[in-house]
């Protein structure tokens, strides 16, 4: 009979997880040692951290581009226009969720790049600074992102 009182050794996979100390920040912090979107990325490399910041910037910039760009011509086929709008919506929401997940790293640099990407994207595509005149009042193919 086994009388170890239920104190069996943990399985080997649990022991491997115990050796690796994984800490997730729950408040904003400055630093290049962070995980953004993927396990152990960007890691300890400053170059990879800069690439991660650029990646977040580009994703947030693309969200604004997709939100404010006209892809379809007026009078196009309703079915093809609806499918195009659906694909554009899928891309915009997917990118927006990836930006949100990147922000959950609580890295201040990632936060600043996301805000800067959205701000510059809006400046170039959503503001009146570079707006092209249109005959109709509807400028975009997609409705605004709902909060």
Residue 107 phi, psi (nearest 5):
-85, 125
Report the distance separating Cα 22 and Cα 114, nearest Å.
25
- Quote the pLDDT of residue 137: 52
**What number of other Cβ atoms are within 10 A of residue 135's Cβ?**
5
* Residue 42, phi then psi, degrees to nearest 5: -85, 0
Question: For 89-108, what is the mean pLDDT?
Answer: 92
Q: Strands, E, within the chain: which ranges?
A: 34-35, 42-43
Enter the tokens of residue 68: 């404010």
Phi and psi torsions of 19, nearest 5° = -70, -35
- Degrees to nearest 5, angle at CA 119 with 114 and 122: 125
37-91 pLDDT, tens digit each: 767 667 778 888 899 999 999 999 999 999 988 888 888 888 888 898 899 999 9
More confident: 115 or 71: 115
Domain segments of the chain as ranges: 63-130
């Amino acid at each position: 009979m086994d009388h170890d009182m239920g104190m069996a050794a943990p399985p080997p996979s649990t022991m491997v997880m115990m050796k690796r100390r994984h800490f997730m920040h729950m408040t904003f912090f400055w630093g290049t040692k962070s995980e953004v979107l993927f396990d152990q990325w960007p890691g300890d490399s400053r170059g990879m951290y800069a690439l991660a910041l650029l990646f977040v910037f580009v994703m947030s910039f693309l969200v604004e581009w997709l939100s404010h760009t006209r892809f379809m011509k007026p009078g196009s086929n309703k079915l093809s226009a609806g499918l195009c709008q659906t694909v554009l919506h899928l891309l915009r929401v997917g990118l927006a969720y990836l930006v949100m997940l990147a922000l959950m790293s609580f890295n201040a640099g990632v936060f600043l790049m996301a805000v800067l990407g959205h701000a510059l994207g809006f400046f170039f595509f959503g503001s009146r600074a570079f707006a092209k005149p249109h005959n109709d009042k509807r400028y975009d193919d997609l409705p605004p992102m709902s909060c």
